[in-house]
Amino acid sequence: MSDIATGLLPPTERSNWIRLRTLILLRWAAIAGQVVAIAVAILYFQIQLDLGLCLLVIGASVLANVIAVAIYPENRRLSENEAMLTLLFDVVQLSALLFLTGGLNNPFALMLLTPVTISATALGRMSTLFIAHTAFALITLMTFYHVPLVDAAGEIQELPHLFLFGFWAALVIGISFLGLYADRVTSEMNNMSDALLATQMALAREQKLTDLGGVVAAAAHELGTPLATIKLISSELLDEVEDKPGLREDIETLREQADRCRDILRSMGRAGKDDLHMHTAPLKAVIDEAAEPHLDRGKEIVFSFEPIHGGSPRMPVIYRRPEVIHGLRNLIQNAVDFAESRVWVVAQWTQDEISVRIMDDGPGYPSHLLGRIGDPFVRMRKSSEHQKKRPEYEGMGLGLFIAKTLLERSGATLSFANGRDPMLTSERSDQRGAVVEVEWSASKIGVSAEAQLAALGENTPIEA
């Protein structure tokens, strides 16, 4: 499926989500803060500043905002390069103002963290690295070259060399840490958002298939009345056209076609009602439905159903939820994808729990990824042998994430492990494969006997 169809966008396109209006508002706030800071420094602390040059630097930001508003609409989405240049201008403008106001002796040098953090949140890594390295270079230059802060008494206000170096190191480390932190958190949020969108689309498709039978039943019911009317009127017309053979044949054909439509709708209505009422089904039927698309893919799938620990010998009936079917289907697909020749699906139940264990005789999960299985977009570095064997498989973990999310939505808990193949003899007991176990509380997915009776209704005699 394409990215547009799935709703998943590559990271480079996310940079186009930032609006020009957002950066303009942030810059206006920065301009207001700069003006207030200079006014307080001059009027309250009696710091001797070159007011003309300071206002010139601030005026450059004002001019940039005015030009941006005049040329572009405020709701314009900036490209990667446009957003990077906008933030780069803010870094240079703030550095110029800091150069005129004491360099790193000015505590507001901390504000250089802001453009880099915004870049790490909204832009790609290359753009963020460029802005961060520019900030590093300017911070280092301001450490040695700046206009000193002079008070009313003519004394230069500056930090001791030790504190000055510490402030420089803190800024460099802060920019690096905040940039990496913001980039990592934003990347995970975007991945999770994309994966959840894919999950919702998968569930919606499954739900549409489930609801289709209800639509068919409703259509059959609604069309039954007009067809009955057509047949009634055609019967009355037959009595009036006995002396017109040609017209009589046409009316008889009309009746026959109405009867044919009735029979078709009756069969559709029965099928639709069957689908509509299949809100519950035996556990085996649900698992068979989930596995059905993968039965003819060249791998043997062995099914096992058994009660354990005092469970009822009768097969439990569960709610036939789309998320359960689609989730199990994804897990079985993953097992079939990686199995050498065989997959085992073992369903077990007790009085209080229902579990489904899916195993294969493949290589198993990578040990270093066991703790991350179920996270979206987990890439696995493939060996050359694996690449030749399955060149089409990308291994991003999205299928397992969708399965895990859907099944947990139904109240299940999932566990992933690598375990011995239970069907192999002791001579080959060293062979291992992937194991995923899905467990539900019987009260969350199982249907009680009373609910089953209510769904089936009471037995009624068939009229002769």
Residue 394 clears pLDDT 80, i.e. is over it: no
Bigger pLDDT: 189 vs 414: 414
β-partners of residue 357 are 346, 437
- Please indicate whether residue 37 or residue 383 has the higher confidence score (pLDDT): 37
Cα angle value 371/374/375 (rounded, 5°) = 85
The HSE-up count of residue 361 (CA atoms within 13 Å, CB side) is 18
pLDDT per position as a tens digit, 60-98 = 999 999 999 888 886 788 888 888 999 999 999 999 999
Is residue 90 within 8 Å of residue 117, measured between CB atoms? no
Contacts of 347 (CB under 8 A, 6+ apart): 283, 284, 287, 303, 304, 305, 306, 354, 355, 356, 357
pLDDT of 317 over the 60 cut: yes
What are the tens digits of pLDDT across the range 207-228? 665 555 555 656 665 676 777 7
Least confident range from 15-24, 319-328, 334-343, 428-437: namely 428-437
Q: How many CB atoms lie within 10 A of CB 57?
A: 19
Calculate mean pLDDT across residues 8-33: 74
Lowest mean pLDDT among 3-12, 258-267, 294-303: 3-12
Higher local confidence (pLDDT), 323 or 131:
131
Note the pLDDT of residue 191. Answer: 67
Stretch 162-178: mean pLDDT: 92
Q: What is the pLDDT of residues 361-380, one digit of tens each?
A: 888 888 777 777 776 655 55
